Every structure is written in C-alpha cells, then in structure tokens.
Amino acid sequence: MYKKSILLVEDNPDDVLLTRRALRQSNILNEVVVAEDGAQAIDLLFGKGPEDPSRLRPELILLDLKMPKVGGLEVLKHIHADDVLSLIPVVVLTTSNEEDDLIRSYRNGANSFIRKPVDFDQFVEAIGQMGLYWLVLNVGTPEPE
C-alpha cells in the first residue's frame, strides 16, 4: 500500500519532536514516519524484498547524517542504488556543516542539504521553506500504478 508520507531518519528524540513541531507549524500535514537510525530506515524502505507490499514509499526523506549503527551516508548509498527509491527526493538535514559531509552527500545522490540552525525560529523557517519546495512546488516522479 502506498503512503504519501515523509520519512524522518533521526536518532535524537528531541530533534524528532522539534522537527515534527516545525513541520506542523509550517502547515505540512503529511504523515511523518520516524526511523531512529539508518538500519531502521533501510528496513522500512526495503522491507523483506522488492515485492514486499509493506515497503514504505515516502514522498520525501529527511535524513540525518550522524547516527548509530548505520549512518546517513550509508542509507543514501542504498537509496541511490535502488531503481524505485532513487526517484524519491532526499533532503539531508543535519547539524554538521563540514564541507566533506556536504560533498559526500551530494555525490551519493542527496537532492538538498540543510544545516539545522540552533535558533528554533530559523529552524521552523528552514523546514517550512524546504517542505513548501519539495512537497508543493517541486514536480516529482509520477506515482506508480
């Protein structure tokens, strides 16, 4: 079953709460599915196999980089290598602004890179603009029948 959801991959529960709040305040009302680390995200996205009907097909993936077990870049690589998943826009949402992280993220197929500001007002602003762009303005790939 296809869900028009947002997948939030984030290990910090505070950040999960704040991101949900920011999305809500920016009037982005899509269902938010949370994966607490990279491994969970891969489980959700790939299921038991390509034909698994419970496979998650989000409209947007918000991905943190620094996580236990499997990091964000690893998840990015898996997504990029998959025919179907590579069509989903991935926004790297992270605290880091290391140039290395930036370059590696784009190289591995990230569509956008946003550094989470400390100031919550700015954070809401950033999430709002990001949501508006990727979920409203941007024309994505057609939905599979």
Partner 1 sequence: MTLLFQTRLIAALLFLVMLTSTVIYFRAASNLAETIRTNDIVAEIVQRVFDLNILTTEHLNLRSKRSLQQWEQSHASLTNILLKSAHDLDTNRLTALNRIRRDLVNIRKLFFRIIILEKRQAPTSEQLINGVKSQLNITAHEIVSEASGLRRRLVYELANEREKVNELLLWTATSLLLVMLATGFWFQRQLLRPITALKKHTEALTDGDFDARTTVRGKGEITDLSIAFNYLAETISQKIHALNVALGAAEASNKELEAFSYSVSHDLRSPLRSLDGFSKAILEDYEDKLDETGRDYLKRIRLAATRMGGLIDDLLKLSKIAKQDLQVGSVNLSDLAAEILEDLKQANPDQTIKFTITPALKASGDKKLLRIALENLLENSVKYSSTKDVAEIEMGQTIVPGRGRCFYVQDHGVGFNMAFKDKLFATFQRLHHTREFPGTGVGLSIVERIIKRHGGSIWAESEVNEGATFYFLL
Within its chain, how far is the Cα of 88 from the centroid?
A: 9
Among 12-20, 55-63, 72-80, 126-134, which window interacts with partner 1 (CB under 8 A)?
A: 12-20
Q: Are strands 60-63 and 31-35 parallel, antiparallel or unpaired?
A: unpaired
> Is 123 an interacting residue with respect to partner 1 (CB under 8 A)?
yes
> What φ, ψ does residue 93 adopt, rounded to 5°?
-120, 105
Q: Of the ranges 34-42, 53-61, 82-90, 114-122, which one interacts with partner 1 (CB under 8 A)?
A: 114-122
Residue 100's identity, in one-letter code, is D
- The verdict on 68 binding partner 1 (CB under 8 A) reads no
Residues that bind partner 1 (CB under 8 A): 12, 14-15, 17-18, 21, 66, 94-98, 116-121, 123
